[in-house]
Structure 1
């Protein structure tokens, strides 16, 4: 079980590092997901990217892993308005991604809690 948890840790770390880098490589997709009522879209996208990379790296070190896992959880909670906004847009962003409407709900109600639970596994020592 410990080996599986270690592999999961490295996968999660890579996931957040790569996702964070993608905020800088392809910002348009992320910017379209930020609800219109939130100000400073570019700044929010940069902050999200920096946090994802920083938390992804911090997960790799036992000294910072617990705090990084809590940071991931808080970050995922902060992303909920973007998921709700995507649902309000019927899972279709103008000049962007268009998915079947159920996918927005699936992301919010299934994938998001799984990601939070996954991060929670690393709030304590492996």
Structure 2
């Protein structure tokens, strides 16, 4: 694995492992940004936190790294409605400037790319004869 991929993997690990702590220690914040159509918001916040921790830990094991990456990728897509909801109703989140809400979506896209790129083995280059 190249140094760049290792660095990307490190970013993904830190993002999810330490980011998940917000789910457990700042639960009220995550519940407050949850769209109202999501059932059992407190349970969903805890569940997503557990999934983030397990996914991050899965990255540490080569044998399941790709599976963990796929699961974190899907989890990241699953939480995207939270970011869209915040953009639809920015007045409900006066502590977050509008530019920051847009930046969250950009960071989300970059995170998805980093997850996918860093958790997959690079393709072998076949030389033409």
Shared fold by TM > 0.5? yes
Show the counterpart of 1:113.
109
Asked if the contact 2:58/2:68 (under 8 Å) is kept, the reply is: yes
Q: TM-score, normalised by structure 1?
A: 0.88
- Moved beyond 2 Å, runs of 4+: none
Q: Is the 8 A contact 1:55 1:72 kept in 2?
A: yes
CA shift, 1:77, in A, is: 0.6
Match of 2:19 in 1: 19
Query: Residue 71 in 1 paired to residue 71 in 2?
Result: yes
Map of 1:1-80 to 2, 5 A cutoff? 2-80=2-80
Shift of 1:70: 0.7
With over 3 angstroms needed to count, the CA separation of the structure-2 counterparts of 1:91 and 1:14, relative to structure 1, is farther
TM-score when normalising by structure 2: 0.86
RMSD value over aligned CA atoms?
Answer: 1.7
The equivalent residue for 1:124 is 120
CA distance in 1, matches of 2:102, 2:96: 11
For the pair shown, which has the larger CA radius of gyration, 1 or 2?
2
Residues of 1 paired with 2:45 and 2:69: CA distance?
A: 20
Distance in 2 of aligned mates of 1:3 and 1:98: 38
Change (3 A) 1:90 1:17: same
Unaligned 5+ segments in structure 2 are 123-129
